[in-house]
Chain A
Amino acid sequence: MAVVKAPNKIRTSGLGSCVGVVLYDEKKNIAGLVHIMLPNSSLGKTTTINEAKFADTGIDTLIAKLKAEGVSPLRLKAKIAGGAQMFQFTVNKDVMRIGPRNVESVKNQLEKHRIPIVAEDTGGNSGRTIQFDPETNMLTIRTVNQGVCEI
């Protein structure tokens, strides 16, 4: 999890079933990124958890971090990418559907905070590398088979 100001950019590589959530303030050119691995912190089996991994705690913590930088949560917008299903399996195990579940949980969490999702590139079965530029507010997504696109 990290927060940057323009002209710095923020990126995360090799997203599979994980979801990259970018929250940004267009006016202040500040953006934060969190890399969500699991849909819900109740899945954590230990008492001390790494907040950044879970959709619920990760997004809460990122909003708090942005607040500390002087950003009003009301001005935040979101772009999200990831949540792919890398392997097709016939076994009906929850861990195999983790990508779609992560996306769903991220969306619920953003809705709870009333943060609009401006653009998304989720699902499918390709890994993604994403980079956000707080100057232009564009999210660049690179995949192995489809090349580079911007949302």
Chain B
Amino acid sequence: MKKITSLHLDVLKEIGNIGAAHAATSLSGLLGKKVDMRVPKVEMVDFTDMMELAGGPETVVVGIYLRIEGDIEGSMFFILPVEQATSLIRRLINDEQFEFSQKPEFELGLSAMQEMGNILSGSYLSALSDFTGLKIYPTVPGLSVDMFGAIISIGLIELSQIGDHVIVINTTIYEDGCCGREEVRGHFFLLPDPNSFEPLFKVLGVT
């Protein structure tokens, strides 16, 4: 691919902006509360830096992962800290006992988490599809509660065939808690496959 200029980065930022805004709206609808987002970051990082984007490779997180297929391809992650995902799901299914573990009694909550990932990434991607006119088909999302490094590396595999750097569209959404405390803070990471940048830039009129 040709050189990536700051105009290209701005376009990618706008993609993160539109996608995450719709996802935040969906989450707000689910919770019946106000959800805010930060200005998206588009970064070119190496794999080691990527591990630091959600608190280091060993940090335990709740991760939703799906592949994107269609006119563009890539990987998408929705990452939440375990504590915050737990309180989110507790509120959503009205069960104060819920924890992220494999016990059968928590199956409902795990399923709710997966569904939430589905809804949020679905609104992110359909907004992206509407905006670009590109066909984007997400796969059914998978859920894993594990070390961030182990989760995110699955998205780096496709990219590692090409090089040691990734372009990541990183958007943070958060919910205002009481006393100015942020309660839910989730990261969306969109990692387009290297050959998906050209079609993306083309439909958006930057070449």
Q: Is the interface of B mostly helix, strand, loop or mixed?
A: mixed
B57→A13 contact, CB < 8 A: yes
Report the bound CA distance from A81 to B139 in whole Å.
Answer: 29
Contact B142 A88 (CB under 8 A): yes
A136 within 8 A of B: no
Chain B stretch 54-89: residues in CB contact (< 8 A) with chain A: 56-58, 60, 65, 67
Determine the residue in chain B with the shortest Cβ distance to A15. B150
What are the interface flags for A82-116 relative to B under an 8 Å C-beta threshold, 1 for contact and 0 otherwise? 00101111110101001000000000000000000
* Central interface residue in A37, A43, A125, by most chain B CB within 10 Å: A37
Is there contact, CB below 8 Å, between B147 and A37? no
Partner among A17, A90, A91, A125 whose Cβ is within 8 Å of the Cβ of B153: A17
- Report the bound CA distance from A126 to B101 in whole Å: 13
Instruction: Evaluate contact between B144 and A14: CB separation under 8 angstroms.
Output: no
B154 is contacted by which of A38, A43, A44, A86 (Cβ under 8 Å)?
A86
- Is B140 a contact partner of A144 (Cβ separation < 8 A)? no
Number of chain B interface residues as a range: 20 to 34
Are B157 and A37 in contact (CB-based, < 8 A)?
Answer: yes
CB distance from B142 to the nearest CB of A (A): 3
Stretch at the interface among B27-35, B121-129, B161-169: B161-169
Looking at B140, B142, B164, which has the most chain A CB atoms within 10 Å of its CB? B142
Please determine whether A17 and B67 come into contact, CB atoms closer than 8 angstroms: no
Q: Which residues of A contact B51 (CB under 8 A)?
A: 13-14
A118 to chain B, nearest CB (A): 24
B137-176 interface bits toward A, Cβ cutoff 8 Å, 1 = contact, 0 = none: 0011011111111110110111011111000000000000
| Chain B 78-128 interface residues, beta-carbon cutoff 8 Å to A | 102
Q: Binary interface profile of A, 35-59, with partner B (CB < 8 Å = 1, else 0)?
A: 0011000011110001001000000
Which of B142, B146, B160, B163 is close to A38, meaning CB atoms less than 8 Å apart? Answer: B160
Residues of chain B with a CB closer than 8 A to A38's CB: 157, 160-161
Q: Is A77 an interface residue (CB 8 A)?
A: no
Most buried by B among A53, A126, A144: A144
Cβ of A140 under 8 Å from chain B: no
Contact across chains for B153 and A89 when beta carbons are under 8 A apart: no
Main secondary structure of the interface of A (DSSP, over half): loop
Q: Are A86 and B151 in contact (CB-based, < 8 A)?
A: yes
B157 touches A86 (CB 8 A): no
- In the complex, which residues of chain B have a beta carbon less than 8 angstroms from the beta carbon of A53? 160, 164
A80 interface residue, CB < 8 Å from B?
Answer: no
Min C-beta distance of B107 to chain A, whole Å: 15
Q: Are B153 and A93 in contact (CB under 8 A)?
A: no
Report the separation of the CA atoms of residues A95 and B57 in the bound assembly, to the nearest whole angstrom: 21
- Supposing A13-B58, A144-B60 touch, asked if A45 and B161 sit within 8 A by C-beta, the answer is yes
**Do B151 and A16 touch (CB < 8 A)?**
yes
> How many angstroms between the C-alpha atoms of A125 and B71 in the bound complex?
31
A18 in contact (CB, < 8 A):
yes
Kindly list 15 other residue pairs between chains A and B, CB separation below 8 angstroms, not including A38-B157, A127-B151: A13-B51, A13-B56, A13-B57, A16-B151, A17-B153, A18-B153, A37-B153, A37-B157, A37-B160, A44-B161, A50-B164, A98-B154, A126-B150, A129-B147, A144-B145
Partner-A contacts on B (CB < 8 A): 51, 56-58, 60, 65, 67, 102, 139-140, 142-151, 153-154, 156-158, 160-164
